[in-house]
Amino acid sequence: MASAAAPATAASVPAEPQPLSGMRLIAAAFALALANFVVVLDTTIANVSVPHIAGGLAVSPTQGTWVITSYAVADAIAVPLTGWLAMRFGTVRWFLISIVGFGLFSFLCGISRTLDALILFRVLQGLSGGPLMPLSQILLLRIFPKEKAGVGLAIWAMTTTTAPILGPILGGLISDNWSWPWIFFINLPVVAICAFGVGSMLGAFETKRDKARIDIVGLVLLVVSVGAFQIMLDTGREHDWFGSAWIIMLAIVAAISFAAFVIWELTDANPVVDLRVFRFRGFSFATIAISLGFGAFFSQVVLTPLWLQQVAGYTATETGFIVAWIGVFAVLLSPVAAGLIGKIDIRISISAGIMWMAFVSILRASWNADVDYWTLALPHLLQGMGMPFFFVGLTALALSSVPARDQTSAAGLMSFLRTLSGAIGTAVATTAWDDASRTSRSEMVSSLNDPGGAMDRLQSAGLTLEQARSAIERMVEVQASTIGVLHLFLAAGVVFVIAAISVWCAPLPKQVSMGASH
């Protein structure tokens, strides 16, 4: 995740201010870390709350996942713009604009009473929050003395890693005990603390403003192509895919605008996304691997809570305490993954980490609708063991494969594609789950063993005809949905294997390090 940090380094810096010390340093570091924490938290806090949100807005749970994908897409689009925004308005000033915007749109998300309004404000929340991850890291590095820069990075990495763990737990507790709007309202006091802390203590660290040109054509083409493609994925199922003129139109718009975007960015002198870094084979294949792997990983992160609550009968709180196990080893083994960089062939640790995640996906495919807590928790705990080698290793391989002058562009592009892949993976997985469940249900109904006898036994046990029919329908529905989700776990495992293989298409750089992102 550290790759998101680099775009802000483009900001031009005047005379270097003195680093902070004592309580001012602690307070400022806390405000910056808290801002990073709340933005990352919002990528996962809604995951376990989707059934509650869908119920509250009277939409299907599949439509409810748009709350996740809309935020992720907007967050991804904002990252490549961070460097230009920091130059144009100043690093500290844009940080304050972003954090206030994030708080405002969090409030508007909470008071939304229609799905359309909620998605609109989630998009604006993601656009506001996207720059906060890279800007918080840049400012942390500036307020710490150079000899203690590692402490600043450790604080940033810790908040980036722990937020996804607490997200599902907080989301579950809030949804079950209060109501879903509070998953957005709790951002408000955090935003107030961050804005006050940064505004009152970091004025001296403001960067010189430069009226840098922005590639407006490239930006518009990027938003149109990504937006049309994501809407197509999110709404395709309910519009019967390419049987619908609306979906065909979205596909055409996405394809034409994407082709125009690629041509424009390759020829523009100051592109919003520098696609020329793909000329480095190591960067290209590392980016393919992280995009495939993150798409498979994030689709599981979203699907598992949906299945646990809709099918297996778990509450949002119980689901949060299952999913959160994924972060334990992710936090503990991150220093180990970073320590291996430069000591062994980085491709070995990366591919081992990804293959481990593939193995855990296959382990998930042994679940059934009656599994106990630890059968569900164990794969989450184990999956965290592979994540640091996947994230940290691929970031190092990608950035070490490009010259120093291109590392800022490379880090922003990789972060953009990784986040976008998570949104696309979620949209594809929820649609595929619905289709697989429907197929399994039709196959099961046609091969039920003596349904009439089962109906008679249920009625003799005291159920009415309608209750007996509902009980059998529910049983079939549970099994069909479970078979559908297990098929997707296996498919994710295959995607992980492809990602692991693609790592070996990247040549080993002469020197492997975390590059400009650190």
Please say if the pLDDT value at position 321 is more than 90: no
Q: Are 114 and 83 part of one and the same domain?
A: yes
pLDDT digits (tens, 9 = 90+) for 488-506: 999 999 999 999 999 999 9
Q: Are 63 and 197 part of one and the same domain?
A: yes
Which DSSP state fits 207? Answer: P
Q: Are 292 and 252 part of one and the same domain?
A: no
Q: Determine the pLDDT at residue 515.
A: 45
DSSP per-residue string spanning 86-125: HHHH-HHHHHHHHHHHHHHHHHHHHH--SHHHHHHHHHHH
Q: Is the dihedral of CA 189, 195, 198, 200 positive or negative?
A: negative
The last residue of a domain, from among 214, 238, 261: 214
pLDDT digits (tens, 9 = 90+) for 101-140: 999 999 999 999 999 999 999 999 999 998 888 888 778 8
Q: Are 204 and 226 part of one and the same domain?
A: no
Q: Are 233 and 343 part of one and the same domain?
A: no
Q: Are 192 and 256 part of one and the same domain?
A: no
Side chain identity at 413, as an amino acid letter?
A: L
What's the rounded Cα separation, in Å, for the pair 394 and 400? 10
- Residue 461: burial class (beta carbons within 10 Å; 0-12, 13-18, 19+): exposed
Strand partners, 350: none
What's the rounded Cα separation, in Å, for the pair 504 and 17? 44
Q: Determine the pLDDT at residue 157.
A: 67
* Count of domains observed in the chain: 3
Q: Are 243 and 177 part of one and the same domain?
A: no
Both tokens of 221, joined, read: 């083409």
**Would you state the torsion angle of the CA atoms of residues 178, 124, 410, 393, taken in this order, to the nearest 10 degrees?**
10
* Residue written as token pair 């080893």: 329
Q: Determine the pLDDT at residue 4.
A: 42
Taking residues 399-407, what's their average pLDDT? Answer: 82
Q: Determine the pLDDT at residue 518.
A: 35
Side chain identity at 346, as an amino acid letter?
A: I
- Residue 131: burial class (beta carbons within 10 Å; 0-12, 13-18, 19+): buried
The last residue of a domain, from among 254, 271, 288: 271
Strand partners, 341: 344
CA 56, distance to chain mean position in Å, is 24
> CA-CA distances (angstroms) from residue 253 to 66, 223, 244, 283, 462?
20, 11, 14, 28, 58
Q: Are 158 and 229 part of one and the same domain?
A: no
Q: Is the dihedral of CA 500, 501, 502, 505 positive or negative?
A: positive
**CATH code, 105:** 1.20.1250.20
Q: Are 77 and 225 part of one and the same domain?
A: no
pLDDT: is 78 or 12 the higher one?
Answer: 78
What's the rounded Cα separation, in Å, for the pair 7 and 11? 9
* Residue written as token pair 């518009």: 220
What's the rounded Cα separation, in Å, for the pair 341 and 346? 6
Both tokens of 217, joined, read: 């054509």
Q: Are 313 and 264 part of one and the same domain?
A: no
* Residue written as token pair 């604006």: 124
Side chain identity at 111, as an amino acid letter?
A: I
Q: Are 344 and 388 part of one and the same domain?
A: yes
Q: In 3-state terms, what secondary structure has residue 341? A: strand
Domain range for 84: 1-214
pLDDT digits (tens, 9 = 90+) for 8-28: 444 444 456 777 777 888 888
Both tokens of 485, joined, read: 């989700």
Taking residues 348-377, what's their average pLDDT? Answer: 91
Q: Are 87 and 176 part of one and the same domain?
A: yes
How many CB atoms are located within 10 Å of the residue 476 CB? 17
pLDDT digits (tens, 9 = 90+) for 364-396: 988 887 888 899 999 999 998 998 888 878 888
The last residue of a domain, from among 193, 214, 235: 214
pLDDT: is 176 or 253 the higher one?
Answer: 253
Both tokens of 286, joined, read: 């590392």
Please say if the pLDDT value at position 5 is more than 80: no
**Would you state the torsion angle of the CA atoms of residues 362, 367, 373, 376, taken in this order, to the nearest 10 degrees?**
20
What's the rounded Cα separation, in Å, for the pair 11 and 483? 51
How many CB atoms are located within 10 Å of the residue 455 CB? 16
pLDDT digits (tens, 9 = 90+) for 404-436: 777 767 877 887 888 788 878 888 888 888 888
Both tokens of 486, joined, read: 């297990």
- Best CA proximity match to 136, nearest among 87, 86, 88: 86
- At 107, give phi and psi (nearest 5°): -60, -45
